[in-house]
Structure 1
Amino acid sequence: MKKFFYVMAGVAILILVLYTYLGGFTAPDVTVVELETKYVAGVPFEGSVEDEALGRAFQRAAKVVEQKELEGVLGSVYYNNPDTSGDSLRAFIGVIVPDPNVTLPEGYELRTVQGGKKVVHVEANANIALLPGKLYEAAFDYADTENLKLEDFYVEWFPEEDIGVLEVPIKQ
């Protein structure tokens, strides 16, 4: 029985060390800023978060950036929250580009996210596997603490490896 306890304690310590290494305990920075206009080149997606087409859209965007078909960073726009809409996701997956006058890869379209609104802006430093959870949790916690109502509209992007940003407009 003691041996089992020591093994389980060792596994727990290993998990804690790994979680710490991946950035699990780093606190996101949360502020309220004015949304800047953003241009997103990508593909629309509507369906289940489990749909393989969603994974393919993310993989295609990563390939577009890696092969320098577009200058920019991986980014997405989400038009709903799948946690509150029964696993159904409406999104636009692609690359945030600095200039709307770009030549788009085949199958890509350009969408504009108009600036000017106040948004909850969250930045976090962690492994990509942990970033979405950290970003959204921080935004929702901040909105609850500050008694803010958020729109069901989310813009996220990843400007560098292990850094993620999320902006959610505040309902006026």
Structure 2
Amino acid sequence: MKKLFYVMAGFAIVLLVLYTYLGGFTAPDVALATSKTIYIAGQPYQGSVEDEALGKAFQRAAEVLEKKELNGMPGNIYYNDPDKSGDSLRAFVGVIVPDSGVALPAGYELRTVPGGRQVVHVEVNANVAIAPKKLYEAVFDYAKEENLALEDFYVEWFPASDRGVVEVPVKE
């Protein structure tokens, strides 16, 4: 019985260390900000968050970066909250690029997110596996605390494998 306890305790410690290493205890930085214009090269997606096509869109974005078809960082636009819309997602998955003059890979299109809007801006130093949950929780918590109404329009990007950013416009 003692042996099982020590094994379970050891396993718990390993999980705790891994979670800490991935940034699980890192607090996101949240602020109201004015958005800058963002260009995203990618492909539209509409369907279930569980659909294989969504995974393929993310894989294609990673491939585009890996093969240096585009210079930039992974980035996405979400046009709705799947938690509110019954698992249905409308998104644009791709790569944040520096300007609108880039040559697009096959199957990609360019979308522009205009700047100059008031947004809830959140950044976190955490692994990409953990960052989205931390980012969105911080956005919604901040909006609730500050009594802000948000649009159903989310722009996220990952400047590094251990850093995530999301911006959500405040309703005017």
When the two structures are superposed, what TM-score results if normalisation uses the length of structure 2?
A: 0.96
Report matched runs for 1:14-163 at 5 Å: 14-163=14-163
* Deviation per residue, 1:118-150 (Å, 9 max, x gap): 000000111111011011011111111111111
2:141 maps to amino acid: D
* Deviation per residue, 1:40-75 (Å, 9 max, x gap): 110000000111111111111111111111121110
CA distance in 2, matches of 1:98, 1:5: 53
Count of residues in Structure 1 that have an aligned counterpart in Structure 2: 172
* Deviation per residue, 1:89-115 (Å, 9 max, x gap): 000000111110111101101111111
* Alignment-derived partner of residue 6 in structure 1: 6
3-state SS, counterpart of residue 127 of structure 1: coil
TM superposition shift of 1:4: 2.5
Displaced runs of 4+ in structure 1, greater than 4 A? none
Identity %: 72
3-state SS, counterpart of residue 47 of structure 1: strand
CA distance in 1, matches of 2:16, 2:68: 37
TM superposition shift of 1:6: 2.5
TM superposition shift of 1:24: 0.2
3-state SS, counterpart of residue 89 of structure 2: strand
3-state SS, counterpart of residue 142 of structure 2: helix
RMSD: 1.0
Structure 1, gaps ≥5 residues long = none
When the two structures are superposed, what TM-score results if normalisation uses the length of structure 1?
A: 0.96
3-state SS, counterpart of residue 61 of structure 1: helix
3-state SS, counterpart of residue 65 of structure 1: helix
CA distance in 1, matches of 2:8, 2:55: 34
